[in-house]
Amino acid sequence: MSRGYMGKILFVDLTSGEIREESISPEVYEDYLSGVGLAAQILYQRIPPQADPLGPDNILGFVSGLLTGTGSLFAGRWMVVGKSPLTGGWGDANCGGSLSPAIKRSGYDGIFFTGISEKPVYLLVKNGRARLKDASHLWGKDTVQAEEMLLSAEGDHARVAVIGPAGENRSLISGICNDKGRIAARSGLGAVMGSKRLKAVVLDGKKRINVFNREEVNALSRKCNAWVQREVPLGPGFTMGYLGALLRILPTAMVQDGFIYKLILRKWGTSGLNQMSPEWGDAPVKNWKGSNIDWPMEKSKSADPDIFKNHEVVKYHCYACPLGCGGICAVTGGAYSRMHKPEYESVLSLGGLCMNEDTDSLFYLNEYLNRAGMDTISAGATVAFAMECFENGILTTDDTGGIDLTWGNTAGMIALIHKMVNREGIGDILADGSRSAAEKIGKGAHTYAIHAGGQEPAMHDGRCDPGFAVHYSVEPTPGRHTTGSQLYYEMFQLWKKVPGLPRKWPFAIYHKNGKFLATREHAQEEAACSSYMNVVNGSGLCLFGTFLGVRRTPTFDWLNAVTGWNKSPEQYLEIGQRIQTIRQAFNIRHGIDPKSFKLSDRAVGRPPMTQGGNKGRTVAIEKMMRDYWTELGWDPETGRPLDQTLVRLGIDAI
């Protein structure tokens, strides 16, 4: 009897219409878990190296997690996977909501699509039967409209993953939504779904998910929940900005305990960082050339965390989440009256990165982009890129169709984003992100395209925490902020379970300069973060839940209790390393030079900033990348996994 996993995947050939099940052997789960690991094992073998990401040979997969539906908390994340049209390499994107348990209750750990349909279709899996249905009437609808129409047709119990106009138009910065606006945004996989003419996946199943030791799982969950429910009162939202200023001014930093971040998430969600991060130097400003001087509290108050909290009418929890960092907001007088609360990443990319102080536009653009199915991080970053091109005369109103792209011009931003979603005029060029746009525009525009391997980095600045710069540059899905940083390592507290990893004493004080030293210790921390996050993403856990640390959020104990495996934390991290290595091998097989993923010069402090919290800082990125590769057993000069590493991980067949 399988435990935790379903033991089966579904394969749908959209060209022929053939739908077939495949069994997966228990050994595969032991080696790769489920979720991203299972997907990496499958896609490595089956996507040919020459496959066009938008062609029939690419495979698009929706995967759940090993812990999803087992009674483990925070275990409601799903992932979409495939060859990324944005980077040309391994693509994945992670999302909460309620799709993840629906995948498993349909009887599968993953549902994979190959081929291209002649006409728009959606997959319905209901009562154990899978079939393709006509979606012509849904094509052109936004993600919320389409989801509502599908629920009305197939029943409210169904769960829906769907693309909007951006995915249909094959924007390389488009994603896939569920739960009316929660988006798996990164890697451009909405374009892959659009290229396959697959509008949606609709799941309504009742399969049972077996667990080895349910009492133990529940006991672990109760203990974890006790930590989640512990509260300490926090001040009003703007005080977070002052905390950020303090963190900036002090020459020292403190090892952080993720419980503090839990308190922030519980009260405000990610918007709790809206003013703190730019004050601290964690949030990039003005296309990564500005600082807290350009975006002081006077301007960032447009994103005061309390504004977003005050619009919240009900808290939003993803499946199996006791924390509930999300919220449903009511807004009057705008185009949309009810929406998901804008996340920090969206607010900063559409706010400070473009010098936009208009709060109403943050609500509007966030919802508009979620409905269009376009990544808010990449969309905001691409607008910021265009604004800097405009400032330098590389783009003019003749190019933009009359749109004034002066920094902070809200009306210009909105008009431009509408054009991007609909691929009109200059929007057609910008719809594929800043690297692609810079190549088409020429005239030195590439200087202003801040990216890693074609993907715009998230709103955490490596000149404040070099760990972010490293992970943006070394991850097989570059530009990603959800895999590691020095801060994340502190919060994961892996050393408490895994002997030999660098120890950090919570609340210990150290000099900030130490963060910028390219030491073996930092490389060990970064490699451990990557491996751990592959375990987390193979389990379907939420990153925010893991911030409580491995003792309070017992990832490894849950896995053993669910599966009956009795593996050690070291063995789980080795699985994570195997997953990371096969994702890297996927990229190399598809012609990616790992060195080419290095983050743009400006974002690593070349030249160093002359003012603000990150003044004078440069990240020793090449050395840090080499050290990270060494730590994972990859060639430090090329980033290619070494033969002996492949043998040790049991994947030398690749």
Chain residues in the site for ligand SF4 (CB under 6 A): 74, 76, 96, 317-318, 321, 323-326, 542, 544-545
Q: CB of residue 542 vs ligand SF4: minimum separation in angstroms?
A: 3
**Full strand arrangement of the beta sheet holding 121-126:** 129-134, 121-126, 198-204, 159-162, 176-178, 182-184
Q: CB of residue 545 vs ligand SF4: minimum separation in angstroms?
A: 6
Q: CB of residue 207 vs ligand SF4: minimum separation in angstroms?
A: 22
Closest CA to 102 of 156, 160, 179: 160
Q: How far apart are CA 536 and CA 75, in angstroms?
A: 9
286 vs 341, beta carbon nearer ligand SF4: 341
Q: How far apart are CA 179 and CA 421, in angstroms?
A: 21
Q: CB of residue 483 vs ligand SF4: minimum separation in angstroms?
A: 15
In order of 227, 254, 266, 302, 326, the CA distances from 272 in angstroms are 19, 19, 9, 13, 12
274 vs 645, beta carbon nearer ligand SF4: 274
Q: How far apart are CA 8 and CA 308, in angstroms?
A: 42
Q: CB of residue 461 vs ligand SF4: minimum separation in angstroms?
A: 22
24 vs 320, beta carbon nearer ligand SF4: 320
Q: How far apart are CA 502 and CA 498, in angstroms?
A: 9
The number of residues in the chain equals 654
117 vs 539, beta carbon nearer ligand SF4: 539
Q: CB of residue 317 vs ligand SF4: minimum separation in angstroms?
A: 5
Q: CB of residue 149 vs ligand SF4: minimum separation in angstroms?
A: 25
Backbone torsion region of residue 176, taken as left when φ is above 0, otherwise alpha when ψ lies between -120 and 50, otherwise beta:
beta
258 vs 476, beta carbon nearer ligand SF4: 258
Q: Which residues contact 332 (CB under 8 A, 6 or more apart)?
A: none
203 vs 542, beta carbon nearer ligand SF4: 542
Q: CB of residue 216 vs ligand SF4: minimum separation in angstroms?
A: 22
Structure tokens at 7: 């033991």
Q: CB of residue 541 vs ligand SF4: minimum separation in angstroms?
A: 8
296 vs 322, beta carbon nearer ligand SF4: 322
Closest CA to 205 of 145, 154, 162, 133: 154
Q: How far apart are CA 604 and CA 342, in angstroms?
A: 27
Contact indicator for 174, 190 with CB cutoff of 8 Å: yes
467 vs 545, beta carbon nearer ligand SF4: 545
267 vs 602, beta carbon nearer ligand SF4: 267
The phi, psi pair for 603, rounded to 5°, reads -75, -10
Q: How far apart are CA 544 and CA 402, in angstroms?
A: 42
